[in-house]
């Protein structure tokens, strides 16, 4: 059992895509579809420097949210939806190889990543990547994906005041 | 960019749900999925109301509504990636949230390939690298292993263009005069150095002219190595690499001329000058629509005659004739590879043949040139001007058919053209190797 409620973890563990929302310098929310990974404590996302605006935004404002919303992108018995709010950090200390620490989690969801990585020479900048680490502070859960009903709200033990 | 009515109308067909994102009272973004219907006539998207006080979007602030789709591919990952991100104001109505977008950002991999989408991100990548460099106080650059970087910077696989005419010249010499291994190896090395010098010089000048940066549709066959553009290597290093290759190639050429006869030098000088002024100012031959002729001469008669001379110590008609079809076919490799580069080449004044001519003219030109190349092989072989077994090279001609089909059907789609570009290279390689095989067969038959 990790820091998130079990049904939210179940969604995170199979989700092929989530929507990461960051806040730009003008205070506007900006949402990016990304593949999420979870190790029981932190949520990880990885972003190429080609699409690195989101990284700049997180460095300016670390508050983010991440929703799992697409019924076809998760493999769970009973569909549900969840949104997780949290504080994010960007690890870009080694853009070339540092992100490979999430490769085992990535491989589970997208086995073809090894094939793409083998062709790194064709897309060298795509594989210069940062890791976004999200420490969850609050989770919202909608049974059956029904957002026309109020969500269960979980204030998480690791929440930062 | 403001979303069009057409875009709004298509949302329901392309996406199953929406996600509305806003900033909550605690200052955190909050994103909530909901169902929706489009009302393109009024330019609005009607989102189903969301229940719960803690997750209500504000009416007085701009929100972001995202539509995202993928298709899972078990055991592989996913495909059919697309998203539409809209910004605007939202207001509550009876049982719904009416969202009026005024700005859009989107990507659909079926409309814009992932390669192009990535290429368009290169300026952002460079900005980010600069930013991280400033933050950390050290220069942060992308990396590739030395082997991959060398392969990419020199475009090493294109060396087949050099090896085919040189081996052909050597094969003709072996048939008519005799054969020396060491001279053959030195010729291949010298030719390869001049070719790599040309490849790298081409990148230096395409980088400085802005042609590579303007090209957002590079393929593995076109658009240059992009190693400077990506920050993998400096322009100075690339220029030095080019000069190094030219220096070694010229030194080998001079050495061979000293050993085998100074008449070789004239051919070598012509080849080196054509190679350098292919993209270098003031001639910039490829900018004037002369690239195909330069390539046909350089990678046809000049290479084949030079290789023949090194072996035979004289020039001959046969190596000249047999190299003409090979020269035409290698010029066609350039010709087809220039098709996806048209917009960027035109924008930077590089007036290649595909920039100058219409699609029909370019396709018909390709067909005519292929017919000429194989027609010459048939005429030369039947008339005995080259060895008769060389007629087996006609077996490669069908490889042109998928190229012609792709040019007709995918002229405007760079990435759909990629397999045809590969096939076109195979056409040159297979024809050249079969011509060489013709000489080997003739030699073996003669020895029996």
Task: Please name the residue ranges forming H helices in B338-392.
Answer: 342-347, 353-356, 359-383
* A96 interface with B at CB cutoff 8 Å: yes
- Check CB contact under 8 Å for B124 and A72: no
- Write phi, then psi, for B82 (nearest 5 degrees): -155, 150
Asked if the peptide bond before residue B282 counts as cis, ω within 30 degrees of 0, the response is: yes
Distance CA A153, CA A138 (A): 7
Residue A160 has pLDDT above 50, yes or no: no
- Domain identity same for B358 and B232: yes
- Check CB contact under 8 Å for B31 and A96: no
Most B CBs within 10 A among A18, A21, A61, hence the mutation to make, goes to A21
β partners of residue B47: B36, B97
Of B31, B81, B125, the CB nearest to A52: B125
Q: Regarding the domain delimited by A6-155, which CATH topology (the fold level of the hierarchy) does it fall under?
A: Pnp Oxidase; Chain A (2.30.110)
Structure tokens at B231: 């920050």
User: Residue A149: its chain B contacts at CB < 8 A?
Assistant: 51-52
Number of domains in chain B: 3
Identify the closest residue of chain A to B27 by CA–CA distance: A63
- Domain identity same for B175 and B206: yes
The gap from C-alpha B67 to its chain's centroid, in whole angstroms, comes to 33
- Domain identity same for B67 and B152: no
Of A27, A65, A147, the CB nearest to B51: A147
pLDDT of the residue at A77: 82
In A8-103, at which residue ranges do the beta strands (DSSP E only) sit?
Answer: 18-23, 29-34, 37-38, 43-48, 63-68, 80-91
Most B CBs within 10 A among A29, A73, A137, hence the mutation to make, goes to A29
DSSP code at position A151: P
pLDDT of the residue at B95: 84
Q: How far apart are the first and last CA of chain B?
A: 76
Q: What is the dihedral of CA B230, B236, B237, B238, to 10 degrees?
A: 70
User: Residue A37: its chain B contacts at CB < 8 A?
Assistant: none
Residues B201-212: tens digit of each pLDDT: 989 988 988 888
- Check CB contact under 8 Å for A124 and B232: yes
- Domain identity same for B18 and B65: yes
Residue A131 has pLDDT above 90, yes or no: yes
- Domain identity same for B254 and B285: yes
- Domain identity same for B76 and B45: yes
- B136: containing domain: 113-141
User: Residue A138: its chain B contacts at CB < 8 A?
Assistant: 28
Q: What Rg do the C-alpha atoms of chain B give, in angstroms?
A: 29
Distance CA B42, CA B45 (A): 9
- Domain identity same for B171 and B26: no
Residue A158 has pLDDT above 90, yes or no: no
A56, exposed or middle or buried, with CB in 10 Å at 0-12, 13-18, 19+?
A: middle
User: Residue B232: its chain A contacts at CB < 8 A?
Assistant: 124
DSSP one-letter string for B199-265: HHHHHHHHHHHTHHHH-S---SSSS---TTTTTSS-HHHHHHHHHHHHHHHHHHHHHHHHHH-THHH
pLDDT of the residue at A157: 66
Per-residue exposure over B75-99, b if at least 16 CB sit within 10 Å of its own CB, e if not = eebbeebbbbbbbbebeeeeeebeb
3-state helix, strand and coil shares in percent for chain A, rounded to the nearest 5: 25, 35, 40
In chain A, which among 54-93 make CB contacts under 8 A with chain B?
55-56, 63-67, 69-73, 75, 81, 83, 85, 92
Instruction: Please tell me the distance in Å from B68's CA to the nearest CA on chain A.
Output: 7
- Check CB contact under 8 Å for B85 and A31: yes
Mean pLDDT per 10-residue section of chain B, whose length is 448 residues: 91 95 95 95 93 89 94 82 95 92 93 87 96 96 94 93 97 94 96 93 88 78 86 96 95 96 92 84 88 94 97 96 97 93 84 94 98 98 97 98 95 83 95 98 93
Write the CB contacts of B71 (distance below 8 Å, at least 6 apart in sequence).
A72, B78, B79, B80
Contact A85, A63 (CB under 8 A): yes
Distance CA B356, CA B350 (A): 10
Distance CA B409, CA B80 (A): 22
Most A CBs within 10 A among B15, B16, B31, B105, hence the mutation to make, goes to B31
Contact B200, B154 (CB under 8 A): yes
Pairing relationship of beta strands B62-73 and B29-34 according to DSSP bridges: unpaired
Contact B436, B171 (CB under 8 A): yes
- Domain identity same for B51 and B153: no
Contact B59, B69 (CB under 8 A): no
- Domain identity same for B129 and B211: no
B125 three-class SS: helix
- Check CB contact under 8 Å for A121 and B220: no
pLDDT of the residue at A159: 45
Contact B248, B194 (CB under 8 A): no
- Domain identity same for B277 and B422: yes
B374 three-class SS: helix
Distance CA B5, CA A157 (A): 46
Residue B66: CATH number of its domain: 2.30.110.10
C-alpha pair distances (Å), B212 with each of B204, B347, B367, B382: 10, 11, 28, 45
Distance CA B284, CA B274 (A): 10
- Domain identity same for B73 and B173: no
């Amino acid at each position: 059992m990790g820091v998130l409620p079990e049904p939210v973890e179940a969604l995170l563990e199979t989700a092929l895509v989530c929507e990461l929302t960051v806040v730009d310098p003008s205070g506007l929310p900006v949402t990016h579809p990304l593949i999420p990974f979870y190790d029981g404590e932190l949520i990880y996302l990885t972003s190429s420097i080609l699409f690195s605006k989101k990284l700049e935004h997180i460095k300016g404002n670390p508050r983010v949210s991440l929703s799992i919303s697409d019924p076809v992108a998760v493999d769970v018995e009973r569909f549900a939806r969840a949104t997780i709010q949290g504080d994010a950090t960007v690890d870009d200390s080694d853009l070339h190889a540092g992100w490979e620490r999430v490769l085992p989690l990535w491989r589970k969801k997208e086995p073809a990543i090894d094939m793409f990585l083998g062709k790194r020479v064709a897309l060298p900048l795509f594989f210069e990547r940062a890791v976004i680490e999200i420490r969850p502070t609050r989770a919202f859960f909608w049974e059956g994906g029904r957002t026309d009903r109020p969500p269960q709200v979980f204030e998480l033990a690791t929440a930062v005041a | 960019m403001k979303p069009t009515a057409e875009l709004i109308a298509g949302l329901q067909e392309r996406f199953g749900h929406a996600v509305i994102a806003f900033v909550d009272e605690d200052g955190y973004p909050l994103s909530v999925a909901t169902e929706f219907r489009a009302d393109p006539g009024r330019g609005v998207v009607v989102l189903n109301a969301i229940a719960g006080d803690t997750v209500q979007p504000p009416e007085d602030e701009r929100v972001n509504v995202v539509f995202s789709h993928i298709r899972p591919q078990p055991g592989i990952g996913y495909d059919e990636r697309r998203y539409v991100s809209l910004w605007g104001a939202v207001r509550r109505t009876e049982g719904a949230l009416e969202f009026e977008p005024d700005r859009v950002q989107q990507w659909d991999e079926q409309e814009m390939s992932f390669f192009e989408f990535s290429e368009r991100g290169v300026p952002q990548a460079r900005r980010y690298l600069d930013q991280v460099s400033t933050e950390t106080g050290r220069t942060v650059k992308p990396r590739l292993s030395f082997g991959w970087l060398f392969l990419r910077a020199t475009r090493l696989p294109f060396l087949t263009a050099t090896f085919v005419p040189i081996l052909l010249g050597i094969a003709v010499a072996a048939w008519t005069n005799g054969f020396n291994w060491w001279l053959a190896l030195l010729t291949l090395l010298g030719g390869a150095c001049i070719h790599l010098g040309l490849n790298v010089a081409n990148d230096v000048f395409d980088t400085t002219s802005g042609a590579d940066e303007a090209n957002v549709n590079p393929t593995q066959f076109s658009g240059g190595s992009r190693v400077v553009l990506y920050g993998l290597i400096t322009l100075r290093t690339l220029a030095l690499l080019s000069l190094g290759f030219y220096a070694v190639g010229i030194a080998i050429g001079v050495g061979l001329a000293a050993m085998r006869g100074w008449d070789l030098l004239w051919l070598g000088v012509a080849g080196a000058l054509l190679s350098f002024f292919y993209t270098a100012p003031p001639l910039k031959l490829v900018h004037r629509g002369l690239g195909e002729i330069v390539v046909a001469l350089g990678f046809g008669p000049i290479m084949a005659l030079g290789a023949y001379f090194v072996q035979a110590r004289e020039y001959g008609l046969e190596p000249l004739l047999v190299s003409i079809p090979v020269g035409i076919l290698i010029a066609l490799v350039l010709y087809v590879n220039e098709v996806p580069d048209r917009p960027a080449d035109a924008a930077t004044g590089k007036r290649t043949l595909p920039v100058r001519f219409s699609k029909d003219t370019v396709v018909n030109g390709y067909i005519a040139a292929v017919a000429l190349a194989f027609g010459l092989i048939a005429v030369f072989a039947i008339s005995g001007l080259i060895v008769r077994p060389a007629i087996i090279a006609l077996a490669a001609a069908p490889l042109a058919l998928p190229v012609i089909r792709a040019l007709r059907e995918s002229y405007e789609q760079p990435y759909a053209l990629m397999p045809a570009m590969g096939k076109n290279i195979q056409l040159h390689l297979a024809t050249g190797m079969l011509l060489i095989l013709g000489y080997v067969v003739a030699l073996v038959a003669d020895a029996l």
